């Protein structure tokens, strides 16, 4: 890993938000979101996390975030959070953990 002023340790995940209007898949997880926020204030942010080969590291790298600390497994998928919001404003949240790479 190159020199970083702030190393963010946490999760990288996919967020799948489902409403009556449709579904939207977006990157998420504590490490992803914290690093993206920190990158607005610092040019030397790094991430330490796990991800599957289905996660596009370019989403972090294009913001200047160092991804050398991300362990990408050759098998399995990045974990996913599915949030379904119903018309009555209730929600169901499911976490899909793909642990076949552990």
Strand pairing partners for 56?
A: none
Give the predicted TM-score (pTM) of the model.
Answer: 0.83
DSSP H or E stretch at residue 48: strand 45-51
Distances from the Cα of 81 to the Cαs of 45, 48, 98, in angstroms? 25, 19, 11
Question: What number of residues does the chain have?
Answer: 102
Q: pLDDT tens digits for 77-100? A: 899 999 999 999 999 999 887 654
Q: pLDDT tens digits for 6-62? A: 999 999 999 999 999 999 999 999 999 999 999 999 889 999 999 999 999 999 999
Residue 25, CA atoms < 13 Å, CB-side half-sphere: 8
DSSP H or E stretch at residue 37: helix 30-39
């Amino acid at each position: 890993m190159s020199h970083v002023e702030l190393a963010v340790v946490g999760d990288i995940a996919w967020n799948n938000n489902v409403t009556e209007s449709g579904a939207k898949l977006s990157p998420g997880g504590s490490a992803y979101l914290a690093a993206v926020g920190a990158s607005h204030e610092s040019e030397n942010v790094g991430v330490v996390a796990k991800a599957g080969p289905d996660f596009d590291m370019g989403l972090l790298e294009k913001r200047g975030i160092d991804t050398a600390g991300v362990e990408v497994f050759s098998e399995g998928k990045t974990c996913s959070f599915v949030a379904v919001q119903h018309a009555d404003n209730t929600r169901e949240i499911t976490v899909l953990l793909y642990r076949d790479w552990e």
